[in-house]
Structure 1
Amino acid sequence: MIDQLEPRNTASEAPPSRVDAVAEGVIRKIVPAERQEFLDHLLRLDPLSRFMRFGGVVSDAALARHAARAVEGDKLLVGYFHEGELRAVAELHPLPKKPGKPVAAEAAFSVERDWQGKGIGSALMRQLVLLAQNRGIEDLEVVFLPQNGRMKSIALRHEADFSLDETEMVGHLRTPPATPMSWLREMIGDVFAVFSAAFELQDRMLPRPHRGH
């Protein structure tokens, strides 16, 4: 089992206010080389946030397996970085195609406790809708526990239709067709993600007092 990371927050690393959080951070795709950063983020989730994200109790070892699978194949991850640390993630998991049904994918979100309620989840959702749009995904599904009010609010802002599936809520978002502008936005984001990931990887290799953040 993977050991739980020690808390790294200090007074100088306190999260920004709701007004400044999205503006001060960076939202971009997570590249496969950042699997460990994704796992570190999942391990930092408090027990309630972890339970809400996965719909139950999940071990550290299960998180490690999830992190490895999430960067493979046609899955996509979008992250919110603050001062080089990954604090929130939106995952896009394409679903098997069904005859006569819209092309669908499932969206999942994880936000560390101190960064919740600051508009970061909504910003990640907007980026995820763009990625789904450009892949011809017509139905973006968001599955969450009924008591997860934050997730329900995010889905409502995007005019999702809801249904109750046994013990889970399922929101369905209809995404618009891709356009030249939506493709251009993603291409620009991809270039930024590659350079940003390379810079942050280099930065993490330096002793903390010498980092650029």
Structure 2
Amino acid sequence: MQQRAPERAPVSIRPGSVSAGPGPGEKRSAQMRFRKSGTASRAMPVIRKIMPTELPLYRAHLLRLDRADRHARFAGTLSDEAVERHCAAIDWGRTVILGAFEDGALRGAVELCGDRALWPEQAEFGISIESGMQGKGVGSTLVRRILIVARNRGIRHIHMICLSENIRMRALARRYGGRLAPEGDETIALFELPPPDQFSIALEALEEGSGAFNSILSGNTVAPRLSTPPRQRLAA
């Protein structure tokens, strides 16, 4: 579940359905029950965009990945120094990162990057999930959300690279309409996205607002900035 390591990349980062939720009172009661049982954040991780000022959280997350997960993320073995260089090279003007937070700590992320000047309407993404968060649907949610983000920014062609042995990520790509193209030890998942419409834009705004609200409830110190998806550039 990764993008290639930075030195192999054409861009800098190579390195469902919606249902009505419970009402405010039900949310409050559920939150109290979760807090009492100690399972709130495990059951409901907060998904939201990561701000540039939160880069240290993203760097710490990538550095926590074990050897296998780091290899899966970058299609190669990266040292801590290489991971830090990758983070330092992130261009926030053409990058969007969604994070999954548990107990205020970033435990999973998907990084989307494109370059309108060199690759119009194209982008790629890489996903990283810490071992303790795997198998809980976090990866599926992050992929679904990042495809909406890409669509709303005029991206029509997007790809993800995973190890050919990563059966879970290959199945996840197929679930969201990805076409798999094996290339030796790696498999490229290609996604064709439709143009944005009122529904996709409203959905992103709704989920971004929900993430900001849940982030405040969970006690995160940084309140995410809400924004309308721009069409002129990739980042939001």
Give the TM bin, normalised by the shorter chain. 0.7 to 0.9
**Does structure 1 residue 120 correspond to structure 2 residue 138?**
yes
Going from structure 1 to structure 2, the CA distance change for 1:52 and 1:103 (only over 3 Å counts) comes to same
Q: What is the rounded CA distance, in whole Å, between the counterparts of 1:191 and 1:69 in structure 2?
A: 28
Q: What is the rounded CA distance, in whole Å, between the counterparts of 2:165 and 2:221 in structure 1?
A: 37
| Corresponding residue for residue 53 of structure 1 | 73
**Does structure 1 residue 163 correspond to structure 2 residue 175?**
no
**How much has 1:186 moved relative to structure 2?**
2.5
Aligned with 1:79: secondary structure?
strand
**How much has 1:151 moved relative to structure 2?**
1.3
Q: What is the rounded CA distance, in whole Å, between the counterparts of 1:194 and 1:118 in structure 2?
A: 21
**How much has 1:201 moved relative to structure 2?**
2.8
Q: What is the rounded CA distance, in whole Å, between the counterparts of 1:132 and 1:104 in structure 2?
A: 9
| Corresponding residue for residue 145 of structure 1 | 163
Q: What is the rounded CA distance, in whole Å, between the counterparts of 2:50 and 2:192 in structure 1?
A: 24
Equivalent residues of 1:104, 1:140 under 8 A apart = yes
Equivalent residues of 1:163, 1:170 under 8 A apart = yes
**How much has 1:69 moved relative to structure 2?**
2.6
**How much has 1:72 moved relative to structure 2?**
2.2
Aligned residues: 183
Equivalent residues of 1:80, 1:88 under 8 A apart = yes
Equivalent residues of 1:70, 1:77 under 8 A apart = no
Aligned with 2:154: secondary structure?
coil
Aligned with 1:81: secondary structure?
strand
**Does structure 1 residue 201 correspond to structure 2 residue 201?**
no
Q: What is the rounded CA distance, in whole Å, between the counterparts of 2:135 and 2:202 in structure 1?
A: 30
Q: What is the rounded CA distance, in whole Å, between the counterparts of 1:104 and 1:172 in structure 2?
A: 11
**How much has 1:74 moved relative to structure 2?**
1.1
Deviation sequence 1:3-51 (CA, Å, 0-9, x none): xxxxxxxxxxxx969xx95x51111111111100001101111110001
Equivalent residues of 1:103, 1:137 under 8 A apart = yes
Gaps of 5+ in 2: 1-37, 224-236
Map 1:92-103; keep pairs closer than 5 Å: 92-95=112-115, 103=121
> Which has the larger share of helix?
1
Map 1:20-99; keep pairs closer than 5 Å: 21=42, 23-70=43-90, 72-95=92-115
Going from structure 1 to structure 2, the CA distance change for 1:64 and 1:92 (only over 3 Å counts) comes to same
Gaps of 5+ in 1: 1-14, 204-213
Bigger mean CA deviation after superposition, 139-148 or 67-76: 67-76
* TM-score of the superposed pair, with normalisation by structure 1: 0.76
**How much has 1:165 moved relative to structure 2?**
3.1
* TM-score of the superposed pair, with normalisation by structure 2: 0.69
| Corresponding residue for residue 201 of structure 2 | 183
Going from structure 1 to structure 2, the CA distance change for 1:201 and 1:157 (only over 3 Å counts) comes to same
**Does structure 1 residue 108 correspond to structure 2 residue 104?**
no
Deviation sequence 1:73-95 (CA, Å, 0-9, x none): 21110011111111000111115
Whichever residue aligns with residue 57 of structure 1, its letter is: T
**How much has 1:96 moved relative to structure 2?**
5.8
Whichever residue aligns with residue 38 of structure 1, its letter is: Y
Bigger mean CA deviation after superposition, 120-129 or 152-161: 152-161
Aligned with 1:164: secondary structure?
strand
Going from structure 1 to structure 2, the CA distance change for 1:202 and 1:178 (only over 3 Å counts) comes to closer
